[in-house]
Amino acid sequence: MKQITITAQTANQRADKFMRKWLKEAPLSFIYKLFRKKDVKVNGKRITIEYILKENDILQAYVHDDQLQDFTVHRRYQKKLLDLPIVYEDAHCLMIHKPKGMLVQGEDDTRQHTLTEMVIEHLYAKGEYQPNQPGFTPAPGHRLDRNTSGLVLYGKTIEGLQALHRLFKDRDEISKQYLALVVGPLTGKGKIDLPLVKDESKKMVLIAKHTQQGLSALTEYEVIKNYGNFTLIKVHLITGRTHQIRVHMQAIQHPIAGDRKYGDFKANKWLMDHHHYEHQFLHATELSFGEITGVLKGLSNKNFTIKLDRTEEELLVKLSS
């Protein structure tokens, strides 16, 4: 029988979810069989999968040494403080300015140089996370594309991460603003209300031909300044679908400058040839919060804004001249 003490970071989650994180490589059938056979206990009493773990609970599970070795993922993390701008931090969450070109999170358990890995090593260095303590790993409450720069929020505790997921799902008390340079002249304001659907074979997101086939997606934008054949806009993301801004702007014939998947390839080549610019000009510039209670109350009624990265600022100066 293996025994684990539940910490503040791993508390407040269902017992089966904790077990799935602890025994990452175990088949789900194995984990749920443990519960069916009543081979999982807390404080000496058998529990069901619905049991919510509490701080200082003693969880016991009938797992053999060889099973534990096979079912757990051993990853080595360095203690290394984050060398990226930290915009906000409290006991439960961390807001970072992500550079373009960096993955927020890897798509599998292979070791990649991701923002999430950097956050884990940062918290490890500060003594706020122990990699050898199973059941919870700091994670982002939302994602940005690899080539989109800007603000990303992380949950440092299970309570913080759960609250962030609710916040981004409900969207009532959070507002997300982006800056984007798009191809072609635009004026005024606009709203794009087009459902989106994923094409897994092409690894792309498309406008759904029929509303019932796709997920609803709503984007609002406002022109800031025209730069000849390009326009700088501020985008208000109402929903948060994958590649939403990029696909919506392409749909109205004003794709994001530098976008290699949904963009205008002639315009991208012109930017490269004339200004040596080869990036995707999309920047998550602002996060605003309403009345927040609970563990994220430190964000309540706050607004966080970051400037464009230097490469994009320099491009706008070149386009102006």
CA distances from 209 to 204, 206, 213, 228, 262 (A): 15, 9, 7, 33, 17
CA distances from 3 to 22, 57, 134, 164, 189 (A): 12, 10, 11, 30, 59
Q: Which residue has the tokens 């290699």?
A: 260
The packing angle between helices 28-36 and 15-22, to 10°, is 140
Alpha helices (runs of H) in 10-99, residue ranges in sequence order? 15-22, 28-36, 65-71
DSSP 282: E
Active-site positions? 145
**Which among 319, 194, 208 has a CA at the least distance from the CA of 257?**
319
Q: What does the alpha-carbon distance between residue 143 and residue 33 come to, in Å, rounded to a whole number? A: 34
